[in-house]
Amino acid sequence: MNLAEELALARAVHVLAVVLWIGGVGLVTLVLLPAARARGAAEGLRWFHAVERRFARQARVTTLAAGASGFWMLARMDAWWRYAEPAWWWIHAMTLVWLVFTVMLFVAEPLILDRRLRSLARADPERALRLLLLLHRALLLLSLVTVAGAVAGAHGWSFGG
């Protein structure tokens, strides 16, 4: 396999991983959390956690696939210099989004957030659900801006040029 074929395969893996990962974040944010709120805060949180656990496994796999394929492409193209160029802001954004989700999924959520959210849910389930929705909305917005910037940037568009 030549370099062009390797990069095409890596891009395909990268895009599929991002579609499943960020698409799942969209589903959670725009469909599942509002459905949970409609059930009432306490019941909605129980239902949401039961459903969301399945997505969390898929999100871990797809974030790892997106990160591995993205960093592999940067290394294979020796494109690390892009981090030094403002026109490649979307590379920084992709890395930031990936890093935020990776830390959330593999460190913060299992070690800190799950316990704190359960505690908050016992004390104030409505507030816990609002907080979850706010966090997911912020992450989805950051992710969608990044995806739009990456697609536009990969096809030659940049601010001011």
For residue 160, what pLDDT band results from cuts at 50, 70 and 90?
low
Task: Please count the residues of the chain.
Answer: 161
Structure tokens at 84: 């030094």
In tens, the pLDDT along 106-148 reads: 999 999 988 998 899 899 999 999 999 999 999 999 999 999 9
pLDDT at 132: 94
Rounded to whole angstroms, the Cα distance separating 98 from 96 reads 5
Work out the mean pLDDT of the chain and round it to a whole number. 93
Domain ranges of the chain: 3-154
Residue 154's pLDDT is what?
87
pLDDT at 53: 84
34 pLDDT more than 90: yes
Cα–Cα distance, 146 to 8 (Å, whole number)? 21
Average pLDDT of the residues in 4-31: 96
pLDDT over 90 at 54, yes or no: no
Q: Taking 80 as the threshold, does the pLDDT of residue 10 lie above it? A: yes
Q: What is the largest CA-CA distance in the chain?
A: 58
Query: What pLDDT is stored for residue 140 in this prediction?
Result: 98
Residue 91, exposed/middle/buried by CB under 10 A (0-12, 13-18, 19+)?
A: buried
